[in-house]
Amino acid sequence: MARLLVAMSGGVDSSVAALLLQEQGHEIEGAYMKNWMAEWDPLGQCPWEQDVADARAVADKLGIPFRVVNLIEDYRERVVDYLLKGYAEGVTPNPDVYCNREIKFGVFLDLALREGFDGIGTGHYARTAPGPGRAKAVYEGADPGKDQSYFLAMLRPEQIARAWFPVGELLKSEVRAKAATAGLVTAEKKDSQGICFIGKVRMQDFLKEYLPEKPGPIVDLEGRVLGEHRGLHNYTLGQRRGIRVASAEPETAYVVVDKRMATNELVIGYDRPDTEGLYASRAILTDLSAAGPELPAKARIEARPRYRAPRVAIDFTRRDDGTADIVFASPQRALAPGQICALYEGPRLMGGAVFAEIG
């Protein structure tokens, strides 16, 4: 059995993670990670105080020690700055993935190890089991509708070795039933819909606080000006809502197909397979990260280009410069530079990378 520090967010998943680890015989303590929105909340939308109270109530019910860990400065430097830099440069960053690598399994795990813990437990819907060479590997969660292995794609082997994901073996309905049976206050609590640190605040409202609005023209693929955008950082490729340009074909909506940073133009086209730039079969990946053995030099594997997207077969070729070329078995819609591409061999997570170039 292991001595584990459990990240308790005040939600039902992490509550049941703590319960399951305790039932398995591990020695556990609970900790709430106080991140960005716990200190900065101009719109009054972050329920962090209630989350702390709920997490503490669960810890009391389980009879385990509980504390609040202040990670605000680390979060600002490692996640928020990355997020703002990405949007300012016109790419689409994924703060949840970097929150996992840099904060939960970075700063938080390091703190646990310094205090003599063997690792950390979280409420992620993913599983661990022996992989190649018998080292601990990450596999998709048992609940296909809740699987979160995608968000763990950039974890390193040494981080995975210290990770416990007990709820990954259960369906969401089973997690709630387990919490109810145990009398946990979080049993019926709604899931958080916010991005890692933003809580209920919309991303666009958050970005307004840090990135200046820079309006510019909305153009079609022929260069005709159709309207004005509010700043390119407010849009991502494949976006349909919020463009505020009426389609000339009522049965087919406009969609963002390009962001031209040099000319500050937002390019839109019709949301259909033959629209130039909307679908792509090739991409270049950078920031390759292996979750186990080194990623192959050349292989037929699978990729998940975004959360909730199905796995799709790809031809993967790693370059000497640390990047990789991939070719999808079928065209993929609205791939965007900056997004994470998770790599798989069946249900086993091989690692991840960042889309650098599309097409």
β-pair partners for 349: 344
46 given a catalytic annotation: no
71/49 Cα distance (integer angstroms)? 16
Q: How far apart are CA 305 and CA 296, in angstroms?
A: 18
Q: Which long-range contacts (CB under 8 A, 24 or more apart) does 81-87 make?
A: 84/207, 84/210, 84/211, 86/338, 87/207, 87/211, 87/233
CA distance 291 to 307: 17
Q: Looking at 21, 99, 153, 268, which residue is catalytic?
A: 99
Report the C-alpha gap between 145 and 141 in whole angstroms: 9
List the beta bridge partners of residue 28. Answer: 4
Distance CA 133, CA 347 (A): 17
Catalytic residue among 196, 243, 255, 336: 196
Residue 161 near residue 135, CB atoms below 8 Å: yes
Q: Residue 188: CB partners within 8 Å, gap ≥ 6?
A: 12, 176, 180
- Contact assessment for residue 268 and residue 218, using Cβ atoms and an 8 Å cutoff: yes
Exposed/middle/buried for 200, CB within 10 Å: 0-12, 13-18, 19+? middle
Helix (H) or strand (E) holding 208: helix 203-208
Examine the residue annotation and report whether 99 is marked as an active-site residue of this protein.
Answer: yes
Amino acid of residue 342: A
Strand 216-220 with 265-270, pairing: parallel
Return the active site residues: 99, 196
